[in-house]
Amino acid sequence: MSAITCQPCPNVTCVSLEGRGLMIEGPPGSGKSTLAMMLIDRGAILVGDDGVELERRDGAIWAHPAPSIRGLLEIRGAGIVQMPVVSARLSLVLKLDSNAPRLPEVAQRILDDIALPLIPFRTGDAAQALRAEHALRLHGV
């Protein structure tokens, strides 16, 4: 096992959904924490908000809570709350993009020579958490 840094992806939030890691990428203010909060409301568990530690283990990438922000989730307009956390094997990366197509093509995010499926993902609607769950089921490894 060897730790890898999250330097190439500093603006990430990650949740564990049905035991699989869903990493959400996007610039500050793009909706990462909001989507994570909606998924947590539907049963997901927080791995990390605005940063995680990554580890290569047995041919997979695992995301762990970053010690300095462990269990903290920013709820815009309300404040920072404490949440339970877990580690998770990454399965899918959602790249937040306000111009994401309705039927996105699956790309790849390479982390430490391991390819993960990546899809552009539009936020801002009431069904975004449901769409993220289906994206994980359809495209996650």
Q: Kindly indicate the confidence band of residue 3, based on its pLDDT and cuts at 50, 70 and 90.
A: low
With respect to residue 138, please indicate whether it lies within any of the assigned structural domains: no
CA dihedral sign of residues 47, 130, 59, 112: negative
Q: What percent of the chain has pLDDT over 70?
A: 93
Answer whether residue 139 is part of any domain: no
Residue 38 lies in a domain: yes
Which residue segment(s) compose the domain that 15 sits in? 2-133
Average pLDDT along the chain: 90
On whether residue 140 sits in a domain, the answer given is no
Say how far apart CA 88 and CA 65 lie, in whole Å.
9
**How far is it, in rounded angstroms, from Cα 86 to Cα 16?**
7
Residue 6 has pLDDT above 50, yes or no: no
Which residues have a Cβ under 8 Å from the Cβ of 132 and sit 6 or more positions away? 17, 22, 35, 39, 94, 121
Q: What CATH code is carried by the domain that includes residue 118?
A: 3.40.50.300
Is residue 24 in some structural domain?
Answer: yes
Q: Is residue 141 part of a domain?
A: no
The total domain count for the chain is 1
From start to end of 1-141, where are the E strands?
Answer: 2-4, 12-17, 20-25, 45-48, 52-57, 60-65, 72-75, 79-82, 88-96, 107-111, 114-121
pLDDT at 80: 94
Please write the tens of the pLDDT for every residue from 70-90: 999 999 889 999 999 999 999
Give pLDDT, residue 2.
55
User: 26 in helix, strand or coil?
Assistant: coil
Per-residue pLDDT of 14-64, as tens digits, reads 999 999 999 999 988 899 999 999 999 999 999 999 989 999 999 999 999
Residue 141 DSSP code: -
Interatomic CA distance for residues 14 and 132, integer angstroms:
12
**Phi-psi region at 51: left, alpha or beta (left = phi > 0; alpha = psi -120 to 50):** left
